[in-house]
Amino acid sequence: MIESERTDAFRAERAMFRNNDEHTNERGQVGIGTLIVFIAMVLVAAIAAGVLINTAGFLQSKSEETGQQSGQQVTNRLQVVSSSGESIDSDAGTVGVVNLTVKKAPGATNIDLENATVQWVGPSGTYNLVNASVSATGSDGFFGITPFKDSDDSAPVLNDPDDRMVMTFDIGQDDTTADESASNPDSGDPSVTGSSATAGKDYFGSPLDEGSSVTLKITTKSGATTSERLVVPESLSGESAVSL
């Protein structure tokens, strides 16, 4: 009887250890699975963080670039100092040449007038103009650039607040060489700028009559626009030049 009880106790003890071993193996399998899931989560999080960092850097650079361009559209503009009309036909009562003296506005960086465009809106129509040195098949005419006050010979670039340059608009007929080419032997003026291909077709539109008005929109390369409205005096009799 005693021997039988010992045998039963031994069997029960072996069964207990066997059950403990099975539970230990199960716990090990669960631990390895959890570790694999944890590593996968860490990898996914690292990849997602890298994507977010790259996206944030790209968006930051784009926003900085956009902000810079927007700022230039506001600040990189021209300021008209004075305007005048010349090549006056007293009998017809018309102005044949318009001159604008311009400088760069406060806060503006260097402005290359060669890259500027002008929209001329007057009694004879609307004309899109470029500098005579630029080849633009879609333009309706040209304007010239003459240095007026340029201590470092930077023309046609306005790189100093004290720089002054004259934009010349020849309307109706060929009245001036200011919008012709320095390489054009017929111009006879080495100081003028432009393309020889424009010689003889620099003028556009029609002369301005007494009392008429014209609106100019000058746009720099950065997109900043300056608007100027010019009005011809009611009488041009006896005048060789007038202020507009």
Residue 200: predicted pLDDT: 44
CATH homologous superfamily of domain 77-243? Immunoglobulins (2.60.40.10)
Residue 199, amino acid = A
For residue 153, what are the contacts with CB-CB under 8 A and spacing of at least 6?
147
pLDDT in the model for residue 3: 54
Beta bridge partners of 215: 121, 229
Q: pLDDT tens digit string along 29-48?
A: 556 767 777 788 888 888 88
Contact call for residues 95 and 242 (beta carbons, < 8 A): yes
| Buried b / exposed e along 132-158 (16+ C-beta atoms within 10 A) | bbbeeeebebbbbbbbbebeeeebbbb
Q: Which residues contact residue 202 at a Cβ distance below 8 angstroms, ignoring those fewer than 6 apart?
A: 132, 141, 142, 144, 170, 174, 179, 180, 194
The pLDDT value given to residue 173:
84
Structure tokens given for 160 = 């100093």
Task: Give every residue of the chain whose pLDDT is below 70, as ranges.
Answer: 1-31, 33, 62-75, 180-202
Ranges of each domain in the chain: 1-75, 77-243
pLDDT given at position 172: 87
82 Cα distance to chain centroid: 26
pLDDT at 45: 82
